[in-house]
């Protein structure tokens, strides 16, 4: 259990001017044509991931090739079991591949040590999961601060500012002392998004973040995610069944049985 020793108390955060969660103007996104020729942020090349062995083998990813450019918003769709979560885990270095390559900028993940991959995750990638994955015994402020405590490049003052900004960004300043079980589902996902963005990641990998939300709340979380990622320049890859999300994505990637379907 977290002992709270080095967590900054929320009382020390600078008092914010609350900014409404309504998104600010979203900069125009690059079309695929405009980004062509640029080196991708993340590239998967003929990626294969199998679970099990022998006759029981399950090929979760069966030759996936995909390029994610900086600032792009990609919706990842497909039926349950089609490989969405596996692909997000592989792109984020949480899972290994059995064949193929995953490049993060100019580094291929299978050539890196666990420590080097952890370092990329800590500094460059934000994760948002279906149920938020917040630490139940920590407050909203402490949950957002937690990953920043591992960042040696972020001093205490900046850390406090980022946590306060993140809580303002997602409209949770007033609920900063609450624990996750004292929040609604939508608030938990906003806290999870704030935690992911506090690190100013190059990419946010989101696994069905609206799956447990009603349509109205899910739409609000999607708008917020899009607006904030645009503000901070983060690319997004978001696994979803949500038609609202696919309609506002720059690119929709459809999976079926571990393969990409033509769009």
Query: In the complex, which residues of this chain contact ligand ADP (CB under 6 A)?
Result: 51-52, 58, 60, 78, 80-86
* β-bridge pairing 203-207 and 125-128: parallel
Q: Which is nearer to Mg ion, 160 or 189 (CB)?
A: 189
Smallest distance, Å, CB 83 to ligand ADP?
A: 5
Which DSSP helix (H) or strand (E) runs through 93? Answer: none
Of 79-87, 112-120, 147-155, 193-201, the segment contacting Mg ion by CB under 5 A is: 79-87
Name the residue with the smallest CB distance to Mg ion: 85
CB count in 10 Å sphere of residue 111? 9
Q: Does 86 bind Mg ion (CB under 5 A)?
A: no
CB count in 10 Å sphere of residue 242? 22
Of 55-63, 81-89, 154-162, 186-194, the segment contacting Mg ion by CB under 5 A is: 81-89
Options 72, 77, 82, 85; binder of Mg ion; rule CB under 5 A: 85
Which DSSP helix (H) or strand (E) runs through 263? Answer: none
Distance of CA 228 to the CA centre of its chain: 12
CA count, 13 A, side-chain hemisphere, 33: 0
Q: Which is nearer to Mg ion, 163 or 237 (CB)?
A: 237
**CB distance 130 to 208 below 8 Å:** yes
Q: Which is nearer to Mg ion, 60 or 222 (CB)?
A: 60
> Which residues contact Mg ion (rule: CB under 5 A)?
84-85
């Amino acid at each position: 259990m977290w002992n709270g020793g080095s967590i900054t108390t929320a009382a020390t955060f600078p008092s914010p001017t609350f900014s409404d969660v309504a998104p600010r103007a979203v900069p125009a996104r690059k079309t695929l044509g405009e980004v062509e020729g640029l080196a991708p942020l993340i590239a998967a090349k003929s990626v294969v991931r199998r679970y099990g062995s022998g006759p029981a083998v399950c090929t979760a990813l069966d030759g996936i090739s995909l390029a994610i450019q900086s600032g792009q918003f990609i919706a990842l769709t497909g039926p349950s079991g089609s490989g969405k979560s596996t692909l997000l885990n592989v792109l984020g270095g949480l899972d290994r591949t059995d064949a193929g390559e995953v490049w993060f900028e100019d580094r291929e993940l299978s050539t890196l040590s666990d420590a080097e991959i952890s370092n990329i995750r800590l500094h460059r990638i934000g994760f948002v999961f279906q149920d938020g994955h917040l630490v139940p015994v920590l407050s909203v402020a402490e949950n957002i601060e937690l990953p920043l405590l591992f960042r040696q490049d972020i001093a205490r003052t900046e850390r406090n500012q980022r946590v306060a900004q993140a809580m303002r960004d997602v409209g949770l300043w007033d609920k900063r002392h609450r624990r996750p079980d004292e929040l609604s589902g939508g608030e938990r996902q906003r806290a999870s998004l704030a935690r992911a963005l506090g690190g100013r990641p190059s990419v946010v990998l989101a696994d069905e973040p609206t799956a447990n939300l009603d349509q109205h709340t899910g739409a609000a979380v999607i708008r917020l995610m899009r607006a904030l990622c645009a503000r901070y320049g983060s690319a997004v890859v978001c696994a979803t069944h949500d038609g609202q999300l696919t309609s506002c994505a720059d690119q929709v990637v459809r999976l079926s049985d571990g393969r990409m379907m033509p769009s």
